[in-house]
Structure 1
Amino acid sequence: MSTLKNLISTHLSAEQVEAVNTALSTLETALAAKVSNLSGDERRKYGSISEQNKLFVNKVNDYAMNQTALRSPDVDWAEFAKDFNSRTVLEGTISRLQNLLTGINNAKTLHDYDNYQAALDDYAYTNYKTGTSAPGYEAKRNELKQFFSRIKKVDEKETADKK
């Protein structure tokens, strides 16, 4: 069974890396005043409103916008509108960022896979060259084989346990 190699061959140029970092810095700066750090307890206390409750808030907003005579005098409607608009913008931003994160994670996964397969190929070549007594390869193999020793130890332990 052959292993697929070089699943992804698109790479970020130095200019693209700089553009991404600049865009992220701009985004971080733009959102700095809006970002909140909640403790675990605060997160549980305030939570996230469910989809049903979002529909409820949307319906109250519709009434507030379209039938102002039915508004409660106990609600600060200017603040309600600001919260509603901020929530809507942030929700859209989160969705866009999550889509980007998914794509970025997928690309990283492919690069990780490509690197790992190439590293395995190099390790196999190192083992081959060690067998030919080529200088330097035995030391390299000794350094690299530590990453495979856990598998052997587990197999050896299981074999010993069965005896």
Structure 2
Amino acid sequence: MGLTNLNSTHLSSTKITAAQDAIALLESALAEITINLSAADRKKYGSINEQNKLFVNKVHDYHQSQPNLSSPEVDWNEFYKDHSSRNAMETMISKLESIITRLNNAKTLHDFDNYQSALDDYSYTAYKAGTSAVGFEDKFRDLKQFFAKPTPPESSSKENKEEK
């Protein structure tokens, strides 16, 4: 018998509802700032790479420590708001990505458990169908379609032989 029940921890319906409510609340809280960029816009504006983040942070540091060296043409209040927002968003994204990774891992184990149990049930169904137990033959035929081997396409060499 293979490994089963790799993840036997399940959220209660109350916790599922609470998580769904929290996600809805998060979506609502972030609605005013979330923007749907087109593929062209994403390509145009891109995402600054690590080197450019270091550059922005260095400019930020210079403006904080030696503001007299900063350009008067930059709206520094907006610069700070952008910098603060991007840092807050980066932290939120990191936390959300971690949650998503952990949810995907838990789901993967539940998927595996479901599939193994379904295989066990299919084996049992095949056994019972072989004993002509009522209903099992129909169930077996219905499930068997998921294990049908694909038929290979007609070979062209056969056609070539027939043409000669």
- TM norm structure 2: 0.92
User: What fraction of aligned residue pairs are identical, expressed as a percent?
Assistant: 57
Distance in 2 separating the partners of 1:60 and 1:143: 66
Give the whole-Å Cα distance in 1 for the aligned partners of 2:107 and 2:150.
Answer: 30
- The aligned residue for residue 97 of structure 2 is 98
2:141 aligned with 1:153: no
CA deviations over 1:115-161 (Å, ceiling 9, x no partner):
00000000000000000100001111111111111xx124xx28x75
90-99 vs 60-69, which moves further: 60-69
Q: Following superposition of structure 1 onto structure 2, how do residues 62-141 of structure 1 map, counting pairs within 5 Å?
A: 62-141=61-140
Larger radius of gyration: 2
State the superposition RMSD in angstroms.
1.5
- Residues 86-112 of structure 1: CA deviation (Å, up to 9, x unaligned): 000000000000000100000000000
Please give the alpha-carbon distance, in whole angstroms, between the structure 1 residues aligned to 2:147 and 2:33.
Answer: 47
Q: Which runs of 5+ in 1 are unaligned?
A: none
What amino acid maps onto 1:142 in structure 2? R
Q: Where do residues 7-46 of structure 1 align in structure 2 (5 Å cutoff)?
A: 7-46=6-45
Structure 1 counterpart of 2:3, which letter?
L
CA distance in 2, matches of 1:57, 1:36: 22
Q: How many residues align?
A: 157
1:144 aligns to what?
143
